[in-house]
């Protein structure tokens, strides 16, 4: 059986030596094509609240390949509290596309690639809800959460907020709390996490998928 074969130690050793076998295990984590993304919203509830911005980076391994960024005009006014947190107000989004216009563009940018986000449960819950509403399907993409992953492979940090992990790695990024700024910091964190994953024997995409399913 293929499933048994993929878990066989001897096969895995051979797979590292012979690239055609390695394809069966998936890419190594440092070669993954993926989209890192972050969203800004009008609140915390993916059903009641709306997305106001999506920032996304298309990567191959640790290389940046493309960028996608859009403001989104919500159907309800943006509260002063949200404006204070994100800097996004009604004036800024007045000419922006609606979610039903922006979502297909974002999904087209992502294609079948895995999505990477910090605290992905939050960001993905909004995208998942919109994909259900706009396209009537489940979001099928793999999800890698840098928060859950960091908790697993970087034990002992005081907390696992994005900037705390960034500081742990000596990273700084301007434009925080806007979608593209947070996506950029997530990308830098991801690059730093790649060798830590390898050290923790999370070498193939399959191994990462399996780990994420259990976190």
Partner 1 sequence: MNVFYSKDLSKLIELFEAAEFGKIISQGDSVALKIHFGEPGNQAYLKPERVRALTRKVRDLGGLPFWTDANTLYRGQRGDDQAHLQTAHNHGYTMNRTGADVVISSGIPDAKAMIVITHFKGHELTGFGGALKNVGMGCATRAEKLDQHSACDNCKAKPSCKKKEKVEACWVGSSAVVQKKIVAHAAKAIRSFNKKTAFINFITDVSENCDCYPHNSTPIVPDLGVLASSDPVALDQACVDMVNNADGRINGRDKFKTLWPEVDWQVQLDEAEKLGLGSRKYELISL
For residue 47, state whether it binds partner 1 (rule: CB under 8 A).
no
177 is catalytic: yes
Closest CA to 62 of 27, 95, 38: 27
- Select from 27, 30, 89, 209 the one that contacts partner 1 (CB under 8 A): 209
DSSP-assigned letter for residue 31: G
Show Cβ contacts of residue 129 under 8 Å, excluding neighbours closer than 6 positions: 46, 47
Cβ proximity to partner 1: between 75 and 214 the closer is 214
Cβ proximity to partner 1: between 51 and 116 the closer is 116
User: Please, which of residues 140-169 interact with partner 1 by CB under 8 A?
Assistant: 140, 142-144
The bridge status of strand 143-145 relative to strand 115-117 is: parallel
**What number of residues does the chain have?**
215
Give the x-and-dash track for 61-100 against partner 1 (CB under 8 A): ----------------------------------------
- Select from 99, 114, 116, 173 the one that contacts partner 1 (CB under 8 A): 114
d(CA 108, CA 97): 16
Show Cβ contacts of residue 72 under 8 Å, excluding neighbours closer than 6 positions: 50, 51, 52, 53, 54, 93, 96, 97, 98, 99, 102
- The distance of closest approach from Cβ of residue 113 to partner 1 in the complex, given in angstroms and rounded to an integer, is 12
- The distance of closest approach from Cβ of residue 151 to partner 1 in the complex, given in angstroms and rounded to an integer, is 17
d(CA 187, CA 68): 14
- Select from 137, 156, 170, 174 the one that contacts partner 1 (CB under 8 A): 137
- Select from 138, 155, 156, 201 the one that contacts partner 1 (CB under 8 A): 138
| Full strand arrangement of the beta sheet holding 63-71 | 63-71, 51-60, 33-41, 115-117, 143-145
User: Please, which of residues 5-34 interact with partner 1 by CB under 8 A?
Assistant: 7
Catalytic residue ranges? 177
Q: Which residues bind partner 1 (CB under 8 A)?
A: 1-4, 7, 114, 137-138, 140, 142-144, 206, 209-210, 212-214
């Amino acid at each position: 059986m293929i499933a048994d074969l993929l878990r066989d130690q001897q096969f895995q050793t051979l797979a590292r030596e012979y690239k055609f076998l390695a394809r069966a295990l998936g890419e190594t984590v440092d070669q993954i094509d993926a989209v890192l993304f972050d969203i800004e919203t009008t609140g915390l509830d993916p059903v009641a609240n709306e997305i106001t911005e999506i920032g996304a980076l298309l990567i191959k391994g640790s290389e940046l390949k493309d960028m996608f960024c859009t403001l989104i005009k919500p159907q309800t006014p943006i509260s002063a509290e949200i404006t204070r947190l994100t800097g996004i107000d009604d004036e800024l989004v007045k000419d922006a596309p609606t979610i039903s216009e922006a979502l297909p563009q974002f999904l087209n940018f992502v294609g079948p690639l895995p999505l990477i986000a910090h605290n992905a449960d939050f960001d993905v819950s909004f995208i998942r809800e919109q994909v259900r509403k706009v396209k009537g399907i489940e979001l099928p993409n793999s999800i890698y959460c840098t928060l859950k992953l960091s908790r697993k492979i970087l034990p002992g940090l005081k907390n696992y907020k994005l900037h705390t992990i960034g500081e742990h790695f000596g990273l700084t990024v301007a434009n925080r709390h806007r979608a593209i700024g947070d996506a950029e910091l997530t990308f830098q964190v991801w690059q730093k996490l790649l060798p830590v994953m390898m050290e923790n024997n999370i070498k193939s995409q399959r191994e990462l998928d399996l780990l994420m399913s259990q976190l």
